[in-house]
Amino acid sequence: MNILLRIVADKRQEVDLRKSLIPVSQLECSALFNRNTFSLATSLKNSTSGIIAEHKRRSPSKNVINQNFSVCEVVKGYENAGASGLSILTDAKYFGGSLDDLTIARACCNLPILRKEFIIDTYQIAEAKAYGADAILLIAAILTPQEIQQFSTFAKQLGLDVLLEVHNAEELDKSLLPSIDIIGVNNRDLKTFNVSLEISKKLSALIPDDFVKISESGISSIDAVKSLQPFGYKGFLIGEHFMKTENAGASAKAFINQLK
């Protein structure tokens, strides 16, 4: 069984447990649930760099990346660096994240925040809003077309932007819905974890201009970003490249300054 299937199986158990502990009615009472959100899609459209900077402690492919930074230190550094948005990993078992990371990030900066998670239930979308997210990630590889439509529509009702992640033309074909704001092409094969920027280049022509296009995974150089910009990409999700340094914010600032 590949890593993605294993993560989803664990996630179903985790979500069932959380639903039994904290009902949606309680999430709706959160102080953050009724806040006006910041649009990640709009921020990317208006950005000169398009960098979505990620807070990520570890991953299944790299194990520990950085356990030392405080979330607040990282996101303040990213905001100061001129990032267009933030991505906060909230999966605990495989990525070392938490919903608390999301709430702390929200309290420490005014950038749009993407909840980076394996979403398989509308409950997680309500959670995202309750804990301070502005956008959610939907992964086409683990969802049916009906689920993508249901989840994205619900997210829009809550005022959240929707980033739909694809890896190939087949996934893209089932995902082009009006309730999607951003199409993210993941350069990492989630079954093998191999990375190639050619995936973004090949799929770019298949993505209508109605959607903001971003590229994810394997972006660690200025040349990589500049090679993707002519293909219409407005956003570039970068986490590990910044997080593995001694100062994620300073690393992001140097990177973004070089892009200008």
Catalytic option among 39, 66, 84, 116? 116
If you write DSSP's letter for every residue of 117-178 in order, what string do you get?
----SHHHHHHHHHTT-SEEEEEGGGS-HHHHHHHHHHHHHTT-EEEEEESSHHHHHTT--T
Active site residue 56: yes
Catalytic choice (117, 127, 171, 216): 216
Q: Strand 63-64 to strand 58-59: parallel, antiparallel, or no bridges (unpaired)?
A: antiparallel
Token pair listed for 24: 């949606």
Q: Is the distance from CB of 49 to CB of 259 less than 8 angstroms? A: yes
Q: Which residue among the candidates 56, 129, 234, 253 is catalytic per the annotation?
A: 56
Query: Is 76 a known active-site residue?
Result: no
Cα–Cα distance, 257 to 253 (Å, whole number): 6
Cα separation of 252 and 79, whole Å? Answer: 9
Q: Which residues contact 168 (CB under 8 A, 6 or more apart)?
A: 199, 203
Q: Is 204 a catalytic residue?
A: no
Q: Are 183 and 213 in contact (CB under 8 A)?
A: yes
190, 156 Cβ separation under 8 angstroms: no
Active site includes 116?
yes
Task: Kindly name the residue from 186, 187, 200, 251 that is annotated as catalytic.
Answer: 186
186 catalytic per annotation = yes
- Establish whether 246 is a catalytic residue: no
Which of 117, 127, 165, 240 is catalytic? The answer is 165
- 14 given a catalytic annotation: no
Other Cβ atoms closer than 10 A to 67: 9
**Would you name the residues annotated as active-site residues?**
54, 56, 116, 165, 186, 216-217
